[in-house]
Structure 1
Amino acid sequence: MVSHVGYRADAKEELSVTDHALAGAVSGMITRALAQPLDVLKIRFQLQVEPIARKGGGLYQGILQSVAMIIRMEGVSALWRGHVPAQFLSLTYGTAQFGSYALLTKAASQSGIGEGLISRGACGAVSGVCATLASFPFDVVRTRLIAQGKPKRYNGVVDGVTKMVREEGVLCVWRGIVPTLLMSVPYSGLTFYFYSIFDALSSRLMVYEREQHWMNTAAVSGTAAGVCAKVCVYPLDVLKKRLQIRGFEEARKQFGKVVAYPSAWKCLVCVTQEEGLSAWFKGLWPSLLKSGISTGIIFISYESTCRILAKAHNTKNAKADDR
């Protein structure tokens, strides 16, 4: 018999949409703090026009070399550059994504649509739209903070937003929104889709009691889901980053060749012609590391927070029943 204050297997399903949103916010913040260096590395790779190779390459030539280069040129703190807007991004994105996902899956279940893999993937895709629209300006700001060299053009989030809006107009904080939506919709849907698949496989393959090892299940399923989803949409992530620094190219001179793209189509054509198809996978390895690790941490943190909230609710209900 399960204790009133314990965590029942179905307890998460009884949590409110607000609880799920809170768990999403917590998981996003924890993940961002741990995975930010990989994100910085990924963005630097994506924005480098020259090949990422030892021979004929640009400033960054590999993961270890790039980390050493950033630390030597800019200090250890540079690995967390853009962390403040990135935290706002993760907080907003996690809240909107998991909150809307819980709302959508609950509505789908009640309407009779079902709770299958396709349904969860579709709900995940729509939640990705909600999360992207809510958090996108923070993504643009943190990309520029990470991308800038020395002397710094922006001295923080507020200074960055103020200068961007004054110099380029309000719409500049929405640059790259189209490829971002094209990426985030399938990425979010695929993440929840693959997570459901790997979660189900883990339940079948694991010979031990799942409830006692739920963290292992969340870690393995989350990591695998993050890697699979990222590979599917990665070229769109590169396109998004290239577009987000339009009007900001001169601040990147110290990092190598500077190219200005007047439109998304021109960017697509120029990068393909001048850098080759492989350019759309620049920064893939740190991105896969970041995506796998961060998605694993996200689901571990999310599941942990849900369990804590469920236990808190159970304890509260148990005390109310004892009165």
Structure 2
Amino acid sequence: MADKGSSHVSYQQKNKVRLSTFEHALAGGVSGFITRAVAQPLDVLKIRFQLQVEPTCGKRTGLYYGILQATAKIVNTEGLSGLWKGHVPAQFLTVAYGIGQFGSYAFLTRIASENGFGESNSIRGTCGGISGMIGTLLSMPCDVVRTRVVAQGHPKQYSGMFDACRQILKKEGPQSLWRGLTPTLLQNAPQTALQFYFYNAFMKFATSFCGEDGFLTASAISGTAAGAFAKACTYPLDTLKKRIQMRGFEDARSQFGRVVKYKSMLECIAKVTQEEGVIAWFKGLWPSLLKATVSSGLIFVSYEFTCIFLTKTYH
């Protein structure tokens, strides 16, 4: 049953303007580009923590054991640019995902509305989950390449994004570019569904406090909160995805600590839980939550801003 009165009124709805699916996809790509440029260092920290077998808190036996310590370590050993390692493939990933996600989300919500399903939080969440899967399928190869480039040490095995893609295709085959797809879909579908659900639910309250002139402020607040809630609920699946994406590339990480190889996703789940404990699934949670709040707030407000710009410019 639809949640009556639970959806917020967007700028476009208020001004009786409907952007095309292409324009929504374009806005999604722009918002993804802006967000990635700002949040990339937090993503690098998150990936380094997720791939470290040793504890990341408490006993300081691993290379990284805190956000500030890890940041300083990367800057000292790899330079400031190390915090933006993998930025180019990450931009391809985020822009491709943003185009697929927001383009399909606009199309799906429009179809749902036209067929009498309304615009409740539940409907928005369901459309968001499906759009997350579409965005994942479109951007997955960029995610695999990004993870490899960020994870490698010195000397580098890959000189850059295109070299990484070439080597992966040559040595591991085309299917390897979708390595980790199952845990990624398991993570992204519910995370995106929750993100859109919470965003629309929070916007109902945020817009009542911020007023009509504070639409973008309400969007930033709602997006930030939605990102944190959604990420916290699905984080272990993100760690699993990163571990699986490193299959066949484990030896290149020997300088970062103990190397563990997994033959399958189930073996990975069993080994990590038995050898590192349940807490291991939450390695890198803090930089990830920081990234999720920053990214989600930025991506929604920049998406809404781009939609407003397109509305005023071309309609």
Smaller-chain TM-score bracket? over 0.9
- State yes or no: 1:188 paired with 2:192: yes
- State yes or no: 1:82 paired with 2:83: no
Q: Structure 1 residues 175 and 312 mapped into 2: Cα distance closer, same or farther (>3 Å)? A: same
Deviation readout 1:98-137 (Å, 9 max, x if unpaired) = 0000000000000011111110000000000100000000
Partner of 2:218: 217
Partner of 2:148: 144
After TM superposition, give the deviation of residue 56 of structure 1 in Å. 3.8
Partner of 2:260: 259
Equivalent-residue separation in structure 2 for 1:190 and 1:11 (angstroms): 27
Equivalent-residue separation in structure 2 for 1:19 and 1:8 (angstroms): 12
- State yes or no: 1:159 paired with 2:163: yes
Please list, as runs of the form range in 1=range in 2, the aligned pairs for 1:203-242 lying within 5 A after superposition.
Answer: 203-204=207-208, 206=209, 208=210, 210-242=211-243
- State yes or no: 1:249 paired with 2:253: no
Tell me the TM-score normalized by structure 2: 0.95
Unaligned runs of 5+ in 2: 1-10
Equivalent-residue separation in structure 2 for 1:290 and 1:95 (angstroms): 20
- State yes or no: 1:70 paired with 2:71: no
Asked if the contact 1:81–1:146 (Cα under 8 Å) also holds between the matched residues in 2, the reply is: yes
- State yes or no: 1:299 paired with 2:300: yes
After TM superposition, give the deviation of residue 12 of structure 1 in Å. 7.4
Partner of 1:320: none
Please list, as runs of the form range in 1=range in 2, the aligned pairs for 1:34-49 lying within 5 A after superposition.
Answer: 34-49=38-53
Asked if the contact 1:9–1:211 (Cα under 8 Å) also holds between the matched residues in 2, the reply is: no
Q: Structure 1 residues 12 and 265 mapped into 2: Cα distance closer, same or farther (>3 Å)? A: farther
Q: Structure 1 residues 168 and 12 mapped into 2: Cα distance closer, same or farther (>3 Å)? A: farther
Partner of 2:278: 277
Q: Pick the structure with greater CA Rg.
A: 1
How many residues end up aligned between the 2 structures?
Answer: 305
Equivalent-residue separation in structure 2 for 1:214 and 1:137 (angstroms): 35
Asked if the contact 1:12–1:306 (Cα under 8 Å) also holds between the matched residues in 2, the reply is: no
59-68 vs 168-177, which moves further: 168-177
- State yes or no: 1:100 paired with 2:104: yes
Unaligned runs of 5+ in 1: 1-6, 315-323
Which AA in structure 2 matches 1:27?
A: S
After TM superposition, give the deviation of residue 172 of structure 1 in Å. 1.0
- State yes or no: 1:287 paired with 2:288: yes
Partner of 1:177: 181
Equivalent-residue separation in structure 2 for 1:154 and 1:11 (angstroms): 50
Asked if the contact 1:23–1:302 (Cα under 8 Å) also holds between the matched residues in 2, the reply is: yes
Equivalent-residue separation in structure 2 for 1:133 and 1:228 (angstroms): 24
Q: Residue 301 of structure 2 aligns to a residue in which SS?
A: helix
After TM superposition, give the deviation of residue 39 of structure 1 in Å. 0.3
After TM superposition, give the deviation of residue 211 of structure 1 in Å. 2.1
Asked if the contact 1:129–1:181 (Cα under 8 Å) also holds between the matched residues in 2, the reply is: yes
Q: Residue 151 of structure 1 aligns to a residue in which SS?
A: coil
43-52 vs 211-220, which moves further: 211-220
Asked if the contact 1:12–1:310 (Cα under 8 Å) also holds between the matched residues in 2, the reply is: no
Deviation readout 1:188-218 (Å, 9 max, x if unpaired) = 11100000111012133x1x5x221112101
29-38 vs 213-222, which moves further: 213-222
Which runs of at least 4 in structure 1 moved beyond 2 Å after TM superposition?
A: 7-13, 53-57
Q: Residue 131 of structure 2 aligns to a residue in which SS?
A: helix
161-170 vs 282-291, which moves further: 161-170
After TM superposition, give the deviation of residue 11 of structure 1 in Å. 3.7
Asked if the contact 1:12–1:307 (Cα under 8 Å) also holds between the matched residues in 2, the reply is: no
Partner of 2:54: 50
After TM superposition, give the deviation of residue 279 of structure 1 in Å. 0.3
Q: Structure 1 residues 13 and 182 mapped into 2: Cα distance closer, same or farther (>3 Å)? A: farther
